[in-house]
Amino acid sequence: MTVVELIRRGTERAALLFGRAGRDKAGNVAVIFALVLPVLIMVTLGGVDISRASTVKMNLQDALDAATLAAARSQFTEDDDITEVGLNSLRANLAPFSDIELLEGQTSFRLNPDTGAVEADTRVSVDTLVADIVLPPYGAVLDDRLPVRARSEVLRSNNRIEVALVLDNTGSMAGQKLTNTKAAAIDLINRLEAADGRSIETDAIKISLVPFSMTVRVHQGGTNTPPSWMSNATTHTGGGAWNASTNQYSMFSTAIGRFTLFQNLGTTWGGCVEARPQPFDIRDTAPSVGDQNSMFVPFFAPDEPDRNDYPNHSTWTGWQYEGNNYRDDGRPGSTATNPWTSPNVAQKRADEWFARVRNTAKYVNTPGLNTGFGPNKGCDLQPIIRLTDDYDALRTAVNAMIASGNTNVPLGAMWGWHTLSPNAPFGDGRPYNSERLQKIIIIMTDGENVMTDNTSPNDSSYNGLGYIWQNRLGITSGNDATRRTRMDNRMDHPSDGNEDLCGNMKASGIQVYTVAVQVDTQAQTLMRRCASSADHYFPVNSASGIGAAFDRIAGAIENLRISR
């Protein structure tokens, strides 16, 4: 009902009462009416101002709730600072209501140290619309103003949050995409640091950083002493003898541990790893020496066969090299144009290739090895940062990220999970399903999973999955599309009933956010399926959109720290 309607109805009722009183001949009725009339008028016309005060109360409560939320989201813990933020917001929220006077001296915002809540009280005064005109004495009592109060409370939640930042550092990220990713990641770290500072909970927020490409650098390296969760066993896949019936996919001719190979070369492990064999590649099962497949092995790029041993055969005619020939093969070559005689020329060529690749004896002290040449080739990533609240270390690591190598999203995501897990290799995460705990993983990529097919007998480039013939994908050959599909399916299978990485993470209570930057339709579908929900998936069409995606994710995480 509008103010005009209220006045009209009040006037009509008063006229009716006056008319009846005028027609009534009984003196006592006239006396009673004269006494009651002011009260009736005050009740009737005062209802207009009461109705208005009720409307103002609702608007004031909304404005104060929003201001208290802004104060709770600030980084401040001192009441003066919190009040400044709250008041600035409240002033802005009340600006559209010109007839409402904010009584700042009767407005306060404060932090309750026992509950972690930001509490707010305010008082405003509002012009009366009717009483001061129609019934001046009524308005005078209130000085022509109505007081309205409101109270609000926003809890700075005592929830604890663990976040893994899994960021694509492949070669295609070079340039503006990596620049924008760094800026977005640092902004997210800054915001979560501020949220952590507002909490009354110790270690309320912790973050890990996992840069990935075709491998992940899980250790600073520079050592040949295996961490407890890594294997130097000669029985491990990739470490034992090629001809052993239990280890048919080894890269070497005799049983030898990879840390031993690094030592024989006179260099040290760079800190990168291969994926574990299935099914451990998508599980956070703790490594155990009793099951070598559950252990981790170093990334070790083998020496490629010597090019100049067959100068008149056009260097292994038509076969691709990765440019990592750092040791003499220790086998004789040939200057003949056709060095392999019939029959089975193709098989003889392949056998000679693998005899050179797998020759364990050739790995002896070799000066000049580095991440561009030697067993650590491709291990030039920034090392991961384990779960921490050392925000300066996180920012430094983000700024140090470089773009290099191909894409293996499942391996990066798996190590993101390892950083959150309460299980070895790190065991830094709190136990799953702990009270007031939320684990979050953010997976960002600009590419498609790849294990490149090539024309050499290796049938692939070496990467975090070894070679294709080592069967890490459940296949020992196949074209690029087949290999990509296998990698995609290990991450998130399109059919129900198939175990996959994203499903295992979500089953452990981890919220999965995914950011897909300029990827094709197949990768978009994969990243959308992997995310915990539709609003956890962020497709980005240009480098400039990376920051906005991370900003929305940061806001969602911050909201986990606030409860109204």
pLDDT for 130 equals: 59
Do the Cβ atoms of 417 and 284 come closer than 8 Å? Answer: yes
pLDDT along the chain (564 residues), means of 10: 50 55 55 57 56 81 91 84 94 89 93 85 82 50 72 81 98 96 96 84 90 97 95 73 61 83 96 95 96 93 92 88 91 92 92 88 94 95 97 98 96 98 98 93 97 91 92 91 97 96 98 97 98 97 95 87 57
* pLDDT for residue 314: 86
Backbone angles phi, psi at 345, to 5 degrees: -60, -45
Cβ-Cβ contacts under 8 Å for 521 (sequence gap 6 or more): none
Taking the C-alpha atoms of residue 131 and residue 142, their distance in angstroms, rounded to an integer, is 10
Q: What does the pLDDT read at residue 559? A: 74
pLDDT at residue 449, rounded to an integer:
97
How confident is the model at residue 323, as a pLDDT? 86
Which ranges of 359-498 would DSSP assign to H, the alpha helix?
Answer: 391-399, 409-420, 480-491
| Alpha-carbon distance values, 527 to 117, 219, 403, 492, 507 (Å) | 37, 27, 21, 8, 17
Domains and CATH numbers, the chain: 3-156 (no CATH), 160-215+381-440+447-557 (3.40.50.410), 307-362 (no CATH)
- Residue 527 pLDDT: 98
Dist CA 557 CA 207 (whole Å): 12
Do 283 and 419 form a contact (C-beta atoms < 8 A)? no
Q: Taking the CA of residue 194 as centre, how many other CA atoms within 13 Å lie in the half-sphere pointing to its CB?
A: 16
What integer pLDDT is reported at residue 15 of this predicted model? 54
Report d(CA 181, CA 169) in Å as an integer: 10
Query: Among all chains, which residue has been given the structure tokens 């008149």?
Result: 312
Four-residue CA torsion sign, 481, 486, 489, 490: negative
What is the reported pTM?
0.79
